[in-house]
Structure 1
Amino acid sequence: MSGHTVAIPDDGAFASFKAECLSEEGWRMSCNKGGITVWTQGLEEGNSVHQIKCRMVCKDVSAETMYDVLHDIEYRRKWDTNVIETFDIGKLTVNADVGYYSWKCPKPLQNRDVITLRSWLPIGKDYIIMNYSVKHVKYPQKKDMVRAVSIQTGYMIQSQGPKACTLTYMANIDPRGSLPKWVVNKSSHYLAPRAMKKINKAGLKYSEWKQKHNPGYKPWLYPEQTTLPSIPLSELSIQHAESLENIDESSLAETQEREDSD
């Protein structure tokens, strides 16, 4: 989202996000293997804004289940091995909230975090979840984190019948740092496909997990269940990248890390 005023995305914003998910104009395919395709825009060294799009057909995972997986914050803490901390801050409407998410970056880069306004919308048998960065006075930038900026990031889930779906992830992010070339290459060729595979695996295991963890609790489907406090839009402002420190990590060399077991 652009502009100076925080706004809840309308139907036009969701339609625009869907169109960009489906479009290949201006996107360069950087990886296509194992059923996962990755496109990039502007992932050159020194470019401040990084755009990446991944698409995968998820077999044996319905669109409805994938929608639940991507919403369920308790389940995310289980399957998302990149997450450091994630929590919901408050609700705005029945289909919009504000939340915090921090994640591990490849060593020796500093870890990143974001505060985002997230909104979601079922469109027929398809679903969209998308977000953009906002500021909240109670959640300032942390000393040990680089505050990144989500210009627009999200997922589109398209039903492919009762037991399959196509998942598209699209991120338009300013990581607030001059990143080294190896990070850029690793993101599109390795990290993004690996993340998609983890989401698919999480989808396969979700129904069994949910049966044992508050199975009826799905506030993204039943907003009357939410216990989040309401936040007025007046408490939020747009997070502009220019107001955040831009760190130079371009000279950092890659270090060997122990891989997380999938």
Structure 2
Amino acid sequence: MKELKMKKCVSAQTLVNPPRIAEDIDFENLKNLVDKHLEWTLELNKPATQVYTKPVKGCSFNMLKILANFEDCHPDTLFDVLFDPDYRKVWDSHMLQSREIGIINVNNDVGYYAMNCPPPLKPRDFVLMRSWLDTGPKGEQMLLSRSVLHKDYPHLRGFIRAHSILTGFLIRKSKNGCFLGYVAHCDPQGALPSWLVNKVTHTVGPKMVKDLRKAALGYERWKSSQPHRRKPWRFPEEMMNIPRMLITDCFEDNQPKISVKEV
């Protein structure tokens, strides 16, 4: 397949800048993206799920927003499912590899994630910095992640290094369970035409949310059967066995880049 000329996301170019830890304004921005629908197009409207898309200036890939209500699911359980690396291996059928690279502080870490893609697409991988916030009495739990570079994780042959410009989860307690707001803006890199990426996103996103709900309903039973029940994202004292790292470890690597002419 010939390489397609397409407009890459300007936002993805900011990866060469020093990464930063998410601040209050970043979490407020996530809430605004979830709650305000101006300039968003409603693509799917079902009783428990709504899917929106929005064009982004300087980028040919749309931003995706999914709002979902999970009945009979406690918000704390859903938050734990998003974090638990052992359980991810159970419910995430797309995951090929996942590693905890290191902890920056009690609310920020960096990890590696590789995922399979439908043929003939090449597998994608990410190096992601995560920041999370539990507002306690306000009843909101949020998770933000975006791509960073790391000196020990250069581009690997056989994978295309995708860029998560923004991925966010907002969880709120509801009358019968919890509400999930999911926002994603990703540049998959490679030679994929933007129309195809936007089309696939409409189906992959809702499926991920459906799988997440099913995983949340089975989490407590699974966790109770495990030899250990660690939750370092909730209990900082359990982070002692996770490598510590500095935010300065995330910078542009100087290793030769692999020419990407594949999909």
TM-score per shorter chain, which class? 0.7 to 0.9
Q: Do residues 67 (structure 1) and 114 (structure 2) align? A: no
Relative to structure 1, the CA distance from residue 113 to residue 234 in structure 2 (aligned partners, 3 Å threshold; closer, same or farther) is same
More strand by share: 1
Residue of structure 2 in register with 1:186 after alignment: 200
2:240 is equivalent to residue 230 of structure 1? no
Structure 2 distance, partners of 1:69, 1:62, is: 11
For residues 19 and 196 of structure 2, the distance between their equivalents in structure 1, rounded to whole angstroms, comes to 35
| 1:111 and 2:89 matched | no
Indicate conservation of the 8 Å contact 2:100/2:242, yes or no: yes
Letter in 1 for 2:102: G
Matching of residue 79 in structure 1 with residue 91 in structure 2: yes
Tell me the equivalent position of 1:260: none
Name the counterpart of 1:160. Answer: 174
Q: Is the 8 A contact 1:37 1:54 kept in 2?
A: yes
Structure 2 CA distance for partners of 1:182 and 1:236, relative to 1, 3 Å: closer
TM superposition shift of 1:34: 5.8
**SS in structure 1 at match of 2:39:** coil
Q: Determine the structure 2 residue equivalent to 1:120.
A: 132
Preserved CA contact (<8 Å) 1:133 1:238: no
**Matched residue, 2:188:** 175
Distance (whole Å) between structure 2 residues aligned to residue 117 and residue 150 of structure 1: 10
Output the amino acid matched with 1:30: E
Q: Which residue of 1 aligns with 2:160?
A: 146
Contact 1:106 1:183 in 2 (8 A): no
Structure 2, gaps ≥5 residues long: 1-10
CA gap 1:147/1:36 in 2 versus in 1, 3 angstroms: same
Number of aligned residues:
242
Distance in 2 between residues matched to 1:95 and 1:146, nearest whole Å: 28
Other-structure match for 2:40: 27
Distance in 1 (alpha carbons) for counterparts of 2:64 and 2:121: 19
Cα 1:159–1:173 shift into 2, 3 Å: same
Among 86, 104, 129, the alignment partner of 1:92 is 104
Aligned to 2:149: 135
Q: How far off its partner does 1:229 sit?
A: 1.2
Query: Do the aligned residues in 1 keep the contact of 2:124 with 2:162 (CA within 8 Å)?
Result: yes
Provide the aligned C-alpha RMSD in A: 2.3
> Percent identity over the alignment?
32
2:65·2:181 contact (CA, 8 Å) conserved in 1? yes
SS of structure 2 residue aligned to 1:70: helix
